[in-house]
Each structure stands twice: as structure tokens, then as C-alpha cells.
Structure 1
Amino acid sequence: MSFHKIFPIPPSSSCKYRAIKYSILTRWRMQHDAEKDLKSKLRCHVESCSSHLVLAFLRSLYRVLQKAVDGALVTMDRRRRAQSVKSLAESQKGLVKSSNNYRLDSLDGRSEKGIKTSTRAKEVCGSREDMDAYKGATQSANGRNWGAALFDIFISALVLYFAAFGFLAYAQDGTMASLPLNQIIFKMAGFNPTIFPIIFTLIVAKFMKAWAQFKLERGATIGTLEHLLGGRSFVAAFLTPLKHRSVGLFAIAVFLFWCLDPVGGQLSLKTVSKDANYTTIATNFHYVDFNDSPFQLTNESNRLASINSAFTTALFSPATAKNGSQDLFGSVQIPLLEVLKRNQKADSAGWYRTGRLVELNATSKALAKLEDFLNVPNDADVDDHANILVYASLTGIPFLRGIPVIPPGPGAANTSATDNVTMPLSTLYEQLFGAQSGEVVHTESQFNIETSYFYLDCKTSLDGKTSDASDFPQGINKQQGIVSNGHQFSVQYDTNHTLNSTAPQTIELTSWSGHSGGSGDITKASCGLSTTYVEASVYCISGNNCSVQAVRASLLDHPSSSLSQLDGITPPFNDSSLSVRQSIPQLFFSGFITATGNSTQNPTGLSPIECYFVHPENPYQCSFDNTPYSLHNLGDELFSHRFTQLLNTYWMDNVAQFSVTGNFTLNNIYEDSLHSTVPGQTRIETQVLRCHTTLMVILETISIILFFLGLATAYLDATRRGPDILDDFVSVLRHSPYMHVEAGSSMEDGCDKAHRLRNTLIRMGDVRPDDPFGYVAIGTPSERQPVRVLQHDRSYR
């Protein structure tokens, strides 16, 4: 600083003053030079100090500054807490509720007009005061919100679970449902409808909010923001456009996208299911062929005992076995083709349906596949009587399942289906499915057999009445072809019927009903005996549970239907002498008419064979009944059917008595040449996992879209610049002139602000209670800011 500025000397000063001036100037210059020398010395001294002393000084200075900053922060925190406590206390004591008036407890002597003026002034400058009140550290715009982005990426990764589920189901398509991995897939499918809506809502809602924040920072209309924030749930996406009366393409697109929420949940459930898988293999079947079953030319007692036992067992069998598709021993029954022809028309291949398929289809999962499996046309004209079946015999045709043709595995050879051996189903399952052989649902089989049966077309009549039956034939008369049981029951056959005959052999039956005493009717029936050759389609729904599904006349070449096996047409009798062939009917009928034995016949009743005509369900009980039954009252058709059943039963018991009683094997003594082998097929049903490809593709598409939406949300959150304010109610109160709280930073997120002000009391009410017209706003009720409860009798601007 200049010396003249310190000591100004007026221009009119005398020499005396000038001398004094120079004297003082000289001394000042000497002092100034001394100070400069001292400063120079001090500067040299400081420069010569060691570096470790400088560092120590800097460390001490840093500690002092750090303590000062910490003290300032503690002071600010105490002030903030004191302000919160003060605001809460003011809000609690500053309100006086009254039905007529609402005033503050203390007005500090101010006039009402002064209070109004002060309040309005604060309303005008309140916002500015709030903004200027914050004295904390400043904060720049957000750079990269990596925490929010990582959380969004984690959420988007959750949807990859459904993508993995779809691909896993597709990879396991067609495999056994019982596999451990497939069981896990089914459990996943069960949980999917619960999990999918949660993940879908989480991803889409966060995307809508992030998109709204992005649009808000770059400028968007309020309508756009309302649609984005209001479209964060299925119901809100539907109601928001209606509430704002703005239904545009964007609102429709948002709602349609939300429709994928329930659709995706159901797709994740329906993508996989358990389905029936069929494995069809060629299989041989063995059965007793009665086309090639010769009559056993014997009347030895040991042979007749087993034959008669089989016959009486058939008579004793329950009605369900006599009228069922299988007999008592599981052999398959053949329906009478003559009865089917009267009730329906044949299909295009000549088949007549038995109606049994309709019953089985009730439990079948694939009727069309079953029709293809049976290989029988389904175009037959069937009326309501098609299910009325009459079987040709009380004894069915025994059969066995042979060796199937199993496709060879790696290093294995084909198993021939022509081997005359059988295979248990358990062994077959083991060879086909290995460890999963226990998962077979059921096994069905189909095969066709060629067979034949006797058919009698009878005419019955009353041949008088008599009380004296002494003139009835007794025993056997070979010349006349008569055999009798010695109890007024006889059968006469045509002894002149030969292999050259063109008409059916005539069989006459005579029965007397006067056993109980007095006069009785004599029934005489004249029957034409012929042979019916049929082809039967057999279907086994499970194991050996089988039935004939369709019957047609055999397409093979056979002898004339006028001939029968009683004429010796079955080998080895084709080349036998006439006397041998003529002995067949005599031996057959003599055994038949006495098969039930005289010891089982009541002297005052009919024989069990005769009783079968009138009471087939229990013929032995009928034989002890004293009721005089007349067989001619049955009618020709019913008599013919029951006579046919009796003769066929005894014939089958005669030629294969061991096989028809449930002991059919391929090496029975005397019966090893009776079986025939026919090709068939066995179809094994297993449960597999079935992936529905179309549903899987849709699910995968939705999952990929959700995944990229999650990534987009992560990007939008990572690049967000401003505070997060769209999710919190407290953001509505930012810079409100009626909120007398610490303002906080303008970059403060809504959730942080809500946590900081969580104990602050606010109210929506009348912030101008003393004005003629009220004004509704949200504020902090206190002495500084009254917030009156809204009244029904007051008007508001």
C-alpha cells in the first residue's frame, strides 16, 4: 500500500511538514526493508524443512478437517430430528375440533386479517422456501443404476425357467411317463399356473414403470403416463382407458398383451400330458380247431367219465357263463350266425357285429385306433336287437397266446412267431420295456379263428297224450338208429345219411311229460342237422378277457353244410369204411342221452337234458320238479337253439374233454393234433409323456418376449437420470406449499423420502378455513398451517 495513501499531506502544507514527511518516510522504508529481509529468511527456513514434517502437518490438518465435517453432520442430523419432533408436537397440539369453528389454540395476539395475510404470503413463497431450505450436499444426475439393473436382470432370468421347461418337455416327448425326469416335469407343470402369473406381472409391471420414467424424463403427455402407470395389472389395463375415456390402439395393445398372463399360465400346464402309447406286435394264437376234431371212437367207462363230467359241469355253470362271451374256464364263445342274420345286415366285408365292441368302447381311449386294430368295417346295419346273442355251445373254444414277433434290439436276433410255444405277458413286457415293464397299462389282442358248429332247425309238435309209456323205445336200436335213456326220452337219427347226401341229416327227439303220474304230453321234434362254418374275430381287452366282436360265414372251402362230423367228414375218417362212419352217430347219441346218468334223474320228472330246454339256468333242480313240462310249448326257434347248444357242448366235450375244462396245452394226450395256429396281433398300451408342440412353441415365444422385456427394463433403470418418484405417494407432495417439513434433496428417491417422513402427520382438507370458500389440498396440520376437515355445508374452490 502506498505511503501517501496512509498519510495524505495537504497541498498547502509548510516546509516543516515536508521535513517531517521525509523523516517518517525514511523510517518506514527502513522498517519495510527489514520486514522483507525477515520474510526472505523465514521462506528459506520453511523451504529447508524436511519432507516428513510437512507430511505430519498435512495429516494433522486432515484429522482436524475430518472431525469438523463429522461434527457438522451430527449437528445437521440432530437438527433434522428436532424439527420432526417439533412438527409432530405442533400437529398434535395445534388443532381444536369444533362443530362450529376450527381455530388454533394460540394466535399470539395477531389479528385475523394479519393471519390471513401471513398465510397467503407463505402459500405464495412456500415452494421457494422449501427449495432453498435444503442446505445439504448436492448430487449429480444418476449415472448408472447398476443395482436396479442387476435386480431386473435377475427377474428376467426367472422366465427362462419356462423356456427350459418347454425344451425339456419336447426332448422327453414319447418317453415313459414313469421316468423320474418325467415325473419332475409333471410336477413342474402342476406348479406352472401359479408361478407364471407372478413372474409375468413382475416383469411387465416393472417394464411399464421404467418406460413411464423414461418418457417422463424426455417429455410425455399426461395421458401417456397414465396409460403406462395404469397398465401394470390385467384389471388396471382394462379399467384405465375407461376411466380416462381414452380407448386407443395403445390401450388396446396393452390390454391384449396382459391377456397373455392367464393364457401363458394355462399353456404352461397344458404343454405336457400323459397319453396312451400303443406298441403293436405280431403274435401267434393257438386254439382247438373243431373243424379238424375227430370223434373219439370209444365207449370205455374211463373215457366217458371225463366226457360226462365236462358236460355236466357245463350244465351246472351259472347263467353268466352260459350267456357270456366266455365260458366258465375262459374259453371264447361263438355266437350263432343264424341269429345275427335275422337281426342285422352284414357290412361290406360280410361281417355281423355282436355288439360287444360297444360295451368295450365305453372304457376305450381311442375308438378309431381300436377300429383299425380290429380291422373290421364298422358300416354294418345294426338294429336294437343286435345285442341279443345266442351262443352255439355252453363250452367255448380254448385258446393260447403264442410267441410274439419282437423287434430285435442291438445285437439281438428276431424271435420267431411261428414257434409252437407260449410266452407269459410278464416276459413279453420285460423284453419290450425292460425296467419300465411294470408301467404297462393294459394289453389287448386280436385274432381271427376258423371254426364250425352243429345247427339244428327243428319243428316241434304234440304227438298225443298217454298215461302208459310202456311202448316207448328202450336202449339202443342200431337198425332204426334209435337210442334211449330208458326213461321215455329218445333220439333217432337217419341211418341212411351218407357223404353223398345233399339234404341235412334228420334227427328226431321224443320226450314224455307224464312222469309225475297221469296222462302226459308226448313231444316230438324233427330237426335238420347241418354244419355252419364261420370266421370269428376275437378281441381281448386285457389278458385273457376276450369276446367275439364279429362273425361272418367262412370264406374258405369246406364240405357241404348238409354234412356234419357225425358223417365222418373229419380226418382220419374221410377214408374210413361205411360201417365205421355209421357208428359215429350211434356212439355219440348213446353217450349224449345218458350223459347225466339215470341216478341223477327223478323217476317222476324229466332228465336234466330235457329240463335244459325249459329251465336252462338250473336244469338239475328242474329234474326234481313234479311239474309236467311239455317241450313242444317252447316253440320251434327256442327249441332249435337249445338243442343246438346241447349237441355242440357234448361234441366239444367228447373230442377235447381235457382242453375245454381249462387245461389247454399243446401237448395234451389224445388232443395234440386238434389245435391250429393263426396269426394275430398284440397291442400293449403304456403311458408316455406327450409334449403338445404347438402349445410349447407359444409358451416359448411368450417366455422369450418376457425375457427381453426384462432386459429392456434393466437398461431403462440403468440409464435413469432422475429420482424414482412414480411408485410412492409422497412424491405427490414434492415442493407443496402446504407441506411444512424438511424439503430434502430434489434428487431424493420417493422410497427414501417416504422413509424419512414416515412419522409425519398429513391430511387432505381445507387449507383456507377462514376464507369464504375453502381450498382442498394435502398439508401438515399445525399452528403454522391449519388443515380443516372437509364439511358438507361448505363450498370449495
Structure 2
Amino acid sequence: MDARSIAESQKGLRTAASSIRMDRLDQKRRETAFTKELTIGEASRDISDGSTRPGHHRNYGAAVFDLIVAALPLYFVAFAFLAYAQNGTRVDLPLNQVLLKMASFNPTAFPIVFTLLSAKFIKSVANWKLERSTSVGTIQSLLGSRSLATSIITPFKIGVFNFAVLIGIAFWLLDPVGGQASLRLATRDSNSTTLDANFDYLDINTSPFGLLDAPSRLASINGAFNAALLSPASSKNGSQDLYGNLQVPLLEVLKDSQKADSNGWYRIAELVNASESSTSTTALDQFLGLDNDADPSADVTASAYASLVGMPFLQESSSDGVPSTASAVNIETQFSMESSYFYADCSVEQSGSTEDSNDFASSIDTGRGVVSNGRQFSMSYDQNHTTNSTQPRAVVFTSWNGHSSGSNGDITTATCQLTTTYIEANVYCATNSSCSILAMRASLLDHPKPSLTQLDGIAPTWNATSNHTQSERHAIPELFFSGLINATGNETDETGGLSPIECYFLHPEDPYSCDGNGQYTLYSIRNDLFSYRATQLLNTYWLANIAPFSVTGNFKPNNTRESGVSRAVQGQVRVETTVLRCHTHWMILLVAISIVLFLAGMATAYLDATRKIPDVLDYFANSLQYNPYVHVERVSSMEEGAERARRLKDLRIQMGDVRPDDPAGYIAIGTPGYKQPIRMVSAERRYR
């Protein structure tokens, strides 16, 4: 075959291939035209079919509902202003109880109201923009921003990032903020009111006339003294005795364990415990009138008390201006009192021994200035001590343990210098009626010389009376010491053992335990311990003498049986009540957010009332409108999405292959049936 023939053959092949391609294109055009004609025809038929409706003029029904919803945030505004009006009032008031219940309910209600109003507002804005022409991205962005989570996720899904997205996220952040504001706006809080109050306490400097003029009181005096000896250790070593009286710490012990502050105050261990129940240590110091410059390294736990019974006191009943305690959570009182006590500075030694009781008895000078219990215990005192004396009165305790089995008849002698310590004490009482002296210092008032005591007749009422002789003054120590040494007797009628007074030096927790079966050496006691215990015994018996009824729980000002023993002083009462507290910053936040929600609700009502297009954005049924694969009755295009959803709620639909017989399938939503076969999507089939 020549070259010409070959060229003609190739040309013929190209012509044939071109004809085949043109035929295929013509067939595809015909199919496309047919499909378009079918779709347009179907659409034309759908548009022409069905009833007609006018465009919306005013949607009053939707507007009324929107107005009702818009009013919901006003509940939170009313709550905020009510709480503000009740700020600082007692929490037990009925209205305040309601407000607190509302506050606990608000975190549940606020997110519901916020979401309801916000979602409706965003949708109404989307409808408004759709009616006036906007982009698909804008509509989808609005519809996808009806919660905090979706407002963050939607921009990434549809690729729309603009300033409106940030505004939407910021707006939804107001939801948790408003919820917290509605909860925290009204809370329980404490409110303190400090008022003046009057207190009465036992004046230990009262005249000792009872020792001279009322010998019949000896039974009550000894009863009070023995009750103190029998009291438990918690009473002897606590801030209050069995009757609630105030135990006075020994200033001498405090001076040895710490430094005073700039005003001479010494802290006491109970101050630490009291500060735990009060607002703070600083606040408590301010309430007590103490400086804050105390030694922080001070050993405030070291303390001993001047007596086995405390100082009786009470608050006067007048309470003018004191708030009702019905809602009080803490009631604190404080006052300062001036007082004094005997202090015995003793030196203890063994002064010999004898196994013969007669030898010991004969060695006791029973003349003036010496008292004895008639067996193994005696006290001697300086009978020549007067108000002009410059040295302390000497008191000597002498004890013989020869009655005890197995003893060597050791004799103990303790020589004590008796002085008076004048103190100012700061008293504090907490809500639970637990009272204590929290701070003490040497009294700043003018007093007699420390070398003089009440045994010298230095009481103000005594000195104010001119007809008392020196012999009457000398009778005071004689009656006092003779009464003290015989106040308890021995533990039993046996001759062995120590008297409870002697035993107290060895076993202060149980002074009735020294029977005749033990060996007792009082001289083995340290000087400081003997001094403290001698001081406690002397002060206990003195208090029992001047006010036996008052120190045993019957203290009353102007008591007829113990007249003139009380002293009045002014103190303070701090009543801490539970009040309703409105927190202004949370109130401002809640009111501002609620007003924004209210305005959004009003805007929603207006936009819905003036909307002329049907509401179709939220309803899936609208996607079936004019779908050639869905065979339903056609109605007006003005049909609301909600109406269409109700009308088609029972319609069975499926998304699948609506052209199962074609070489390539087509995915669409349709109504499965004999008119419209729909097959499920298969991974082995291809789709256009």
C-alpha cells in the first residue's frame, strides 16, 4: 500500500472518531435538556399548584409571645434591687429568706432564660437579613451561633471568620457570668455592732467586817473553802471555776515567762483560743483595746491562778440598743476590772525531826501570833505588823509528818513574805459563755504599799470608819489564820496523815488523799510551787470569808447578805448578727446583662411582628419544598415552617439513591414507594 492510501485511511479514522464524539455530545445535550425540562416543568407545576396566601403584615401572635418572653429578665432586675434594698438587714426576715431561696434557684433559671432569649433574637436577625438579601455564610453563621459551643465551632466548619463571630462568642460568655452573678449577688454575711454595757464584779478590797461581826457565817465560809479544795483539776487550772467565776492568773508567773507590751499588758493562754472563735487576733486585740506589739515569742501558756475560786461577775440586764440575738452568730463582751490578791513568796526547808508528838506540840508557841490545828500543823504570823510597816508580813507554815507510818518525824518550815499584788485584768466572753482573762498588767491606779494586805485593815470602807481600834485590826489576821488552819480538819478522825491544807501542797488535784499510810515531805517541794499553792490557799479562804455566797454561784449586786461587795464598771458588747449582704459588683453585672436580654427580647418581638416572609430557617420540612423526588400535596409558599412540619410530620422520607437503575446513581431525599424507588447507598456503586 502506498503512502497516499495510508494517509487517506488515517483521515477516515479521524473523521469517524469525531462523528462518534459529536453523537455522544448530542445525546448528552438531549438528556440534560430533558432533565432540565422535567425539573422546570415540575417546578412550574409546583409553583402553579396549591393555595395562595398574602404576605405577612403583622405577626401579632408571635409578638405577644415574644413580649412575654422578653419580660422574663425583669425578674432578675427585680431580684437585684430587692436584695440591694435589704442589704444589711437581718437574714431571718421573711423577705430575706425568700431572696436567699431565689438566689439558690437563679443559677438554674438564668441560663434557660438567657438561651431562650438569645436564640430567638439571633434567629429573628437571620430572618430579617434573609428578607433583605444576605450571603449564605451570614445566615449559616447566625444559625450556628445559638449556643456558646456552636458559636465557636461553626466558623471553623463554614470558614467564616469576622468581627461578628467574636461578638457572638463574647455575648454567649455573658451566660455563665450572669448565672454566677444571680447566685452570688445575695449571700449571708456577718455584721458587728459594738455597744456599751455595764458589768458588776466582786470587789476583793471590800471591808472584812464579816470576820468580826458574823461568826455564824463560819459554816458557809468553810463550806465554800472545802468545795474549792474538792473541785476538779479542770476548775482549779481553768479560766473559770465550777460556778463560772473568773480565775485570776498570777502576774508574777506571767512576768517570768514573757515581756509586756508597750502598755504593760501580758497575754494569757486563753487569748490564743479566743482568737480562734473571734474574727482574728488583730480584731480581738482591737476589741479588747490591746496593742499589737506583744512579744511574738512569748510563752503565753505558762500561767498559774491566784485562787481556787474565781471572781464572780455578771452583765447588767439593761440592753438598750443591743440588736436582737435571734439571728446572732456571735456575742462577745469585754470589760476591764481592778482587783488584787495576796502573794506569798515562800522559802521551804527541813527544820529538824522528832518522833515524839509531844516534843513537836510543846515546840509550838500557842501564844498570840500562832495558830494550830492541835496536832501536826501550825501557822505563825507577825502580830506586830501595822499599816505603818514597810516590810511584808511574815507568815510561817510548820508541818510535822510524825503521824505517818514509816516517817522519821521530819519537820517542814516554810517562811513566806505576804504582799499584795494589784492588777488590771481584761476580761473577754465569747458566745458560748466561755469567759476568761485574756490580758493582765499591774494596776495603774493609786494603792496602798504592796507590803500591806487586807489583813492589815486597809480596805477603803474600813479606813473611812474612824471608830476601829488597833486591837480590832489585829483581830483580822488572828480570825483569818485560825479559821484557815481548822477549816478542813484531818481527812478522818485518825491521828495519822496530813490535813487537806498540808496535802494540797503535795497533791493539789486531790488534797484529801494524804492518809496515815504514806511518807510526806513538804520540804521537798520547790520554793516557787510552794509559793503558788500557799498563795492559792490564802486567797481562796479570803474570798470565802468576804463573800461565801457570791463565790459559790450566788453573786448579785446589792445582795443583802453580802452588801457592798460588788463594783460596777462599763464594758462593751459586740453582737455579730447574720445579715443579708448584697454585693454591688455582682448586682451591676446582673442588672446590665438582664437589661441587654430584655432589649434583645423587645427587638425580637419587633422583628417577628414586622417580618413578611415565612419563618423557614429552623425546619427540616422546608428542604422538601419543590423537591422533585418528594411526592406531597403542594400548598402556598407562604406556609410557615412550623405549619409545614406539622402537616408533613407523618410523611415517610429517605435519603438514598433515587436512580437505582442508572449506571451512576444520584443521592437525594425522596418519598420511597412504587412511584419513586430509593435504594440505600452502596460503597460499591458510583454516584453523580
Over residues 646-672 of structure 1, what are the superposed CA-to-partner deviations in whole Å (9 max), with x where a residue is unaligned? 111001111111211111122323532
Write the distance in 2 (CA, Å) between the matches of 1:381 and 1:578: 47
- Which secondary structure state, in structure 2, belongs to the residue aligned with residue 167 of structure 1? helix
| Map of 1:552 onto structure 2 | 441
Write the distance in 2 (CA, Å) between the matches of 1:786 and 1:191: 55
Of 676, 679, 682, which aligns to 2:573? 682
Letter in 2 for 1:331: N
8 Å Cα contact 1:515/1:628 also seen in 2: no
Of 342, 358, 362, which aligns to 1:454? 342
8 Å Cα contact 1:658/1:668 also seen in 2: no
Report how far residue 369 of structure 1 moved: 4.7
Write the distance in 2 (CA, Å) between the matches of 1:247 and 1:462: 101
Write the distance in 2 (CA, Å) between the matches of 1:267 and 1:215: 33
Write the distance in 2 (CA, Å) between the matches of 1:127 and 1:160: 53
Matched, 1:612 2:493: no
Over residues 219-256 of structure 1, what are the superposed CA-to-partner deviations in whole Å (9 max), with x where a residue is unaligned? 22333222211111222223223434545432222222
Write the distance in 1 (CA, Å) between the matches of 2:41 and 2:252: 110
Change (3 A) 1:179 1:670: closer
Matched, 1:348 2:262: yes
Letter in 2 for 1:583: A
| Map of 2:138 onto structure 1 | 224
Over residues 304-324 of structure 1, what are the superposed CA-to-partner deviations in whole Å (9 max), with x where a residue is unaligned? 111101100111112221112
Matched, 1:289 2:203: yes
Write the distance in 2 (CA, Å) between the matches of 1:248 and 1:520: 107
Of 648, 655, 667, which aligns to 2:558? 667
| Map of 2:15 onto structure 1 | none
Matched, 1:493 2:381: yes
Matched, 1:531 2:420: yes
Of 504, 507, 528, which aligns to 1:637? 528
| Map of 1:701 onto structure 2 | 592
- Which secondary structure state, in structure 2, belongs to the residue aligned with residue 507 of structure 1? strand
| Map of 1:396 onto structure 2 | 310
Change (3 A) 1:505 1:773: farther
| Map of 1:471 onto structure 2 | 359
User: Which residues in structure 2 correspond to 1:73-152 (within 5 Å)?
Assistant: 121-122=34-35, 125-126=38-39, 128-133=41-46, 134-152=48-66
Report how far residue 607 of structure 1 moved: 0.8
Write the distance in 2 (CA, Å) between the matches of 1:369 and 1:147: 62
| Map of 2:333 onto structure 1 | 445
Matched, 1:157 2:45: no
Matched, 1:586 2:499: no
- Which secondary structure state, in structure 1, belongs to the residue aligned with residue 446 of structure 2? coil
Matched, 1:195 2:112: no
Write the distance in 2 (CA, Å) between the matches of 1:787 and 1:190: 55
Of 541, 545, 549, which aligns to 1:650? 541
Over residues 348-387 of structure 1, what are the superposed CA-to-partner deviations in whole Å (9 max), with x where a residue is unaligned? 3221111323323333356655443222223322447312
| Map of 1:732 onto structure 2 | 623
| Map of 1:332 onto structure 2 | 246
**How many aligned residue pairs are there?**
657
Letter in 2 for 1:150: V
Letter in 1 for 2:422: Y
Report how far residue 394 of structure 1 moved: 0.9
Change (3 A) 1:388 1:732: farther
Matched, 1:718 2:609: yes
Letter in 2 for 1:490: S
Deviates more, 1:299-308 or 1:639-648: 299-308
- Which secondary structure state, in structure 1, belongs to the residue aligned with residue 357 of structure 2? coil
Identity in percent: 53
Write the distance in 1 (CA, Å) between the matches of 2:240 and 2:231: 12
Of 453, 460, 474, which aligns to 1:564? 453
| Map of 1:761 onto structure 2 | 652
- Which secondary structure state, in structure 2, belongs to the residue aligned with residue 325 of structure 1? coil
- Which secondary structure state, in structure 2, belongs to the residue aligned with residue 789 of structure 1? coil
Deviates more, 1:397-406 or 1:362-371: 362-371
8 Å Cα contact 1:294/1:571 also seen in 2: no
8 Å Cα contact 2:405/2:516 also seen in 1: no
Over residues 680-726 of structure 1, what are the superposed CA-to-partner deviations in whole Å (9 max), with x where a residue is unaligned? 12233333222222211211111111100100111111111211111
8 Å Cα contact 1:130/1:743 also seen in 2: no
Letter in 1 for 2:276: A
Report how far residue 674 of structure 1 moved: 2.0
User: Where do 5+ consecutive residues of structure 2 fail to align?
Assistant: 1-26
8 Å Cα contact 2:490/2:497 also seen in 1: no
Write the distance in 1 (CA, Å) between the matches of 2:156 and 2:530: 83
Write the distance in 2 (CA, Å) between the matches of 1:261 and 1:201: 8
Report how far residue 147 of structure 1 moved: 0.9
Change (3 A) 1:466 1:478: closer
Write the distance in 2 (CA, Å) between the matches of 1:326 and 1:674: 20
Change (3 A) 1:486 1:203: same
| Map of 1:277 onto structure 2 | 191
8 Å Cα contact 2:489/2:500 also seen in 1: no
Letter in 2 for 1:739: V
Change (3 A) 1:752 1:670: closer
User: Where do 5+ consecutive residues of structure 1 fail to align?
Assistant: 1-113, 408-428
Q: Which has the larger radius of gyration?
A: 1
8 Å Cα contact 1:127/1:737 also seen in 2: no
| Map of 1:314 onto structure 2 | 228
8 Å Cα contact 1:142/1:720 also seen in 2: yes
Change (3 A) 1:248 1:459: farther
Report how far residue 207 of structure 1 moved: 0.5
- Which secondary structure state, in structure 1, belongs to the residue aligned with residue 359 of structure 2? coil
- Which secondary structure state, in structure 2, belongs to the residue aligned with residue 765 of structure 1? strand
- Which secondary structure state, in structure 2, belongs to the residue aligned with residue 619 of structure 1? coil
Report how far residue 131 of structure 1 moved: 4.5
Report how far residue 781 of structure 1 moved: 2.6
Matched, 1:780 2:659: no
| Map of 1:744 onto structure 2 | 635
8 Å Cα contact 1:475/1:485 also seen in 2: no
Write the distance in 2 (CA, Å) between the matches of 1:591 and 1:602: 21
Report how far residue 206 of structure 1 moved: 0.5
Report how far residue 636 of structure 1 moved: 1.6
Letter in 1 for 2:450: S
Deviates more, 1:178-187 or 1:457-466: 457-466
Write the distance in 2 (CA, Å) between the matches of 1:384 and 1:731: 84
Report how far residue 587 of structure 1 moved: 1.8
Report how far residue 732 of structure 1 moved: 2.5
- Which secondary structure state, in structure 1, belongs to the residue aligned with residue 585 of structure 2? helix
Write the distance in 1 (CA, Å) between the matches of 2:214 and 2:606: 102
Report how far residue 127 of structure 1 moved: 5.4
8 Å Cα contact 1:724/1:750 also seen in 2: yes
Write the distance in 1 (CA, Å) between the matches of 2:147 and 2:282: 45
Report how far residue 347 of structure 1 moved: 2.1
Change (3 A) 1:506 1:248: farther
- Which secondary structure state, in structure 1, belongs to the residue aligned with residue 413 of structure 2? strand
Change (3 A) 1:248 1:553: farther
8 Å Cα contact 2:361/2:375 also seen in 1: no
